[in-house]
């Protein structure tokens, strides 16, 4: 928990990655870096067609990410990214990062709550679970 606890409670801010605020993509990037990984910039999922953007993003960076499946109860590990459609309408996409394998807790950032930890099972309408490939670090 030590590598992400200082992020909990920070306010949400579009494109943010610092004390002033952080969005869901920013918090995922920061945590991956703290886990010793080097992810490519995670796309802003709030602009335009979020589904198209997330599919394009993971297609573009397929040499960096592996699609594990569409179910967050699959063989996951810390640092895996869970991409979801929060409203189930295909309008927006949201990203969280698994931070605690024993409790299957994820960290994300929302407009309403800022940075928070949530149980993976609370994430609805999962689009895909992705892992940064080891050779892309």
Q: pLDDT-based confidence at 134, cuts 50/70/90? A: confident
Backbone angles phi, psi at 34, to 5 degrees: -65, -25
Mean pLDDT, rounded, for 3-23: 89
Question: Kindly report the CA angle at 84 between 113 and 50, in degrees rounded to 5?
Answer: 95
Percentage of residues of the chain with pLDDT beyond 70: 82
Q: H or E segment at 108?
A: strand 105-110
Looking at the predicted structure, is the pLDDT value of residue 30 above 70?
A: yes
- Greatest alpha-carbon pair distance for the chain in Å reads 36
CATH topology of domain 17-136: endopeptidase fold (from Nostoc punctiforme) (3.90.1720)
Give the residue with greater pLDDT, 61 vs 124: 124
Looking at the predicted structure, is the pLDDT value of residue 119 above 60?
A: yes
Counting Cα atoms < 13 Å in the Cβ hemisphere of 26 gives 21
């Amino acid at each position: 928990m030590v590598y992400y606890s200082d992020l909990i409670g920070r306010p949400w801010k579009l494109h943010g990655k610092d004390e002033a605020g952080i969005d869901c993509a920013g918090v995922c990037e920061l945590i991956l870096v703290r886990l010793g990984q080097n992810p490519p910039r995670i796309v802003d999922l709030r602009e335009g067609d979020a589904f198209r953007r997330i599919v394009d993003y993971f297609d573009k960076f397929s040499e960096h990410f592996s699609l594990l499946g569409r179910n967050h109860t699959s063989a996951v590990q810390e640092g895996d990214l869970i991409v979801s459609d929060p409203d189930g309408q295909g309008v927006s996409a949201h990203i969280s990062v698994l931070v605690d394998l024993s409790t299957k807790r994820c960290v994300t950032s929302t407009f309403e709550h800022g940075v928070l930890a949530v149980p993976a099972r609370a994430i609805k309408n999962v689009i895909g679970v992705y892992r940064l490939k080891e050779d892309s670090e």
